[in-house]
């Protein structure tokens, strides 16, 4: 006989709050490592950076436009609760990326170590958000939708997107920056793929 059906766990407001604070803080610290080293990141933010380089438009405008179809998908396929939570998470991360550099000053950090640590921090931060029904928008929304609908693990979808993104980056950035950035992206997606599976964690 198979295992009995396990009911979904509804997180409390306190549990959601601590997960959002922890998840966005980890992601913000990882992004600080990346920007300190002059690297790029993956997912929708990385796509927006490349498009802004190519088009000449501001990163903020490009990032907003690129995210629009993903928010529509989030609302239609994942529901208003997920969408609202994700918007809150994005706002929290934006605030933390502005405040954290004033609290944490990096004196020395090598590119390979910094990229790997950044990937680990961001990966664990994303898991905290995913397990509480939120994402940081963009490709993360698509990845979670594909996992819920077709059982394709979120990390593999993100890894495939990043692979295409970094191939394109070789035509825009110095090759060594792309290589170290790719290392960080691989670490992020491997952590998510191995540790966040819909058949193992069903809380919302």
pLDDT in tens, 34-80: 878 878 888 877 787 678 778 877 655 776 777 777 878 788 777 88
Q: Domain extents for the chain?
A: 30-102+111-195
**Residue 115, pLDDT above cutoff 50:** yes
Which pLDDT score is estimated for 198?
58
Q: What are the distances in angstroms from CA 134 to CA 3, 5, 33, 85, 170?
A: 28, 24, 23, 5, 31
Which pLDDT score is estimated for 5?
46
User: Which is higher by pLDDT, 91 or 18?
Assistant: 18
Which pLDDT score is estimated for 2?
42
Which pLDDT score is estimated for 23?
92
Measured distance CA(141)–CA(72) in Å, rounded: 10
CB 124 within 8 A of CB 192: no
Among residues of the chain, what percentage have pLDDT more than 70? Answer: 87
For residue 131, give the 3-state DSSP assignment. coil
The average pLDDT across 18-28 equals: 89
Which pLDDT score is estimated for 197?
59
The average pLDDT across 121-146 equals: 82
Q: Give the predicted TM-score (pTM) of the model.
A: 0.77
Which pLDDT score is estimated for 86?
81
Q: What is the tens place of the pLDDT at every residue in 167-180?
A: 888 888 888 989 99
**Residue 201, pLDDT above cutoff 60:** no
For residue 179, give the 3-state DSSP assignment. helix
Which pLDDT score is estimated for 160?
85
């Amino acid at each position: 006989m198979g295992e009995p059906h396990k009911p979904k766990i509804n997180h409390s407001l306190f549990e959601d709050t601590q997960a959002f604070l922890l998840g966005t803080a980890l992601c913000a610290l990882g992004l600080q490592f990346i920007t300190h080293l002059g690297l790029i990141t993956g997912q929708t933010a990385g796509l927006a950076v490349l498009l802004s380089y190519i088009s000449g438009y501001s990163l903020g405008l490009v990032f907003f436009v690129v995210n629009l179809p993903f928010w529509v998908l989030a609302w239609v396929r994942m529901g208003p609760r997920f969408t609202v939570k994700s918007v809150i998470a994005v706002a929290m991360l934006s605030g933390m990326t502005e405040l954290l550099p004033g609290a944490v000053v990096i004196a020395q950090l090598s590119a390979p170590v910094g990229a790997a640590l950044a990937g680990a921090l961001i990966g664990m931060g994303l898991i905290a958000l995913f397990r509480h029904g939120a994402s940081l928008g963009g490709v993360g929304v698509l990845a979670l939708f594909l996992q819920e609908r077709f059982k394709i693990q979120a990390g593999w979808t993100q890894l495939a997107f990043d692979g295409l993104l970094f191939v394109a980056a070789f035509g825009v950035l110095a090759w060594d920056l792309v290589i170290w950035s790719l290392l960080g992206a691989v670490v992020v997606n491997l952590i998510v793929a191995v540790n966040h599976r819909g058949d193992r964690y069903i809380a919302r």
